[in-house]
């Protein structure tokens, strides 16, 4: 029942009439193969989307680290310039 409900949602199954009482073992096996293939395809699509998101996040993290390092370097450089300017002013 649960399998049949799920099957009705797959594109291939929309054109099939399913009457469990009159299905042979071979027909049941064929339906299960189609269901398994559809589930596998959807899982692959989902995994592919997850991988893309992961790569995108990794790239963004690397950009953030780079920007943070640049900002930290600029702040340190500015502190050195300020210290030099203060020493020049004091002398």
Band (65; pLDDT cuts 50, 70, 90): very high
Is it the case that residue 28 has pLDDT exceeding 70?
Answer: yes
Give the pLDDT confidence score for residue 29 in this predicted structure. Answer: 87
Band (60; pLDDT cuts 50, 70, 90): very high
Place of tokens 């690397």: 62
* Other C-beta atoms lying within 10 Å of the C-beta of residue 13: 17
Q: What is the mean pLDDT of the chain?
A: 82
Residue 23 backbone dihedrals phi, psi, to 5 degrees: -85, 135
Domain ranges of the chain: 2-90
Give the pLDDT confidence score for residue 69 in this predicted structure. Answer: 93
What predicted TM-score, i.e. pTM, was given to this entire model?
A: 0.47
């Amino acid at each position: 029942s649960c399998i049949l409900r799920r099957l009705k949602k797959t594109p291939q199954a929309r054109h099939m009439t399913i009457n469990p009482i009159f299905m042979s073992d071979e027909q049941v096996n064929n339906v299960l193969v189609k269901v398994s293939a559809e589930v596998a395809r959807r899982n692959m699509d989902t995994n592919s989307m997850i991988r893309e998101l992961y790569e995108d996040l990794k790239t963004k993290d690397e950009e953030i680290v780079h920007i943070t390092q640049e900002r930290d370097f600029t702040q340190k450089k500015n502190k050195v310039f300020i210290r030099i300017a203060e020493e020049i002013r004091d002398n």
